[in-house]
Amino acid sequence: MRLFAAIDLNDEVRTAIAAEQKHIAAEFGHADRSSLKWVQPAQMHLTLVFLGEIAAAAVPPIVDAVSASLKVAPFTVAFERLGVFPPHGAPRVLWLGVSEGASQVADVQRQVARRLEQAGVALERRPFHPHLTLGRWRSSRPGDARRALEADRRAIVARLPVDAVTLYQSRLGPGGATHTALARATLT
């Protein structure tokens, strides 16, 4: 099973993100729009930990590990500021950053990652950078990063109250990924 842990978005945030994607697309022009594949807002979430493929027998302890409440008070995040991965050269991913609440998101991510490691999951050691993926380039040039960042309004796009983390199973299919919630941890 392909698993990940994430913070869910509400409908208000998804609507604001969709409007921001339309604004960016309008700023890009036709050539850039055709090479950028947008993530559908209904599929968006703030990924904390991507576990990858996990054997079915290993899932129950992971569900138990994620289900316990987290010792972090509920908080609010603000989404703002565009960025790209990688930061130099031709970009592959366009993302929207987390400003307000970033330290709390990082704290929640560390707690979830620690629990998963204790449940036997080997996690990648890449530094965590809280963000929402807005789109992925099919092909890009170094100048695409500059054009994308010029579309940044430098304003808060949306605010999200955070009170839980969800463990999802992700199934890839011809119509895109479908996500099924397996466990939920509340913040306390």
88 has catalytic annotation? no
Question: Which CA distances in Å does 157 have to 10, 21, 33, 81, 98?
Answer: 14, 10, 20, 9, 10
In DSSP terms, 132 is beta-bridged to: 96
**Cβ atoms of residues 159 and 76 within 8 Å:** yes
23, 88, 129, 131: the active-site residue:
131
CA distance 37 to 51: 24
Q: Per the residue annotation, which of 23, 30, 45, 129 is the catalytic one?
A: 45
- Residue type for position 99: S
Sheet containing 36-38: order of strands: 36-38, 131-137, 93-98, 75-85, 158-162
164, β-bridge pairs: 186
Identify residue 20 by its one-letter amino acid code. Answer: E
C-alpha to C-alpha distance for 72 and 123, rounded to whole angstroms: 22
30 catalytic? Reply is no
**Could you give the CA distance from residue 49 to residue 30 in angstroms, rounded to a whole number?**
34
Instruction: Tell me which residues are annotated as active site.
Output: 45, 131
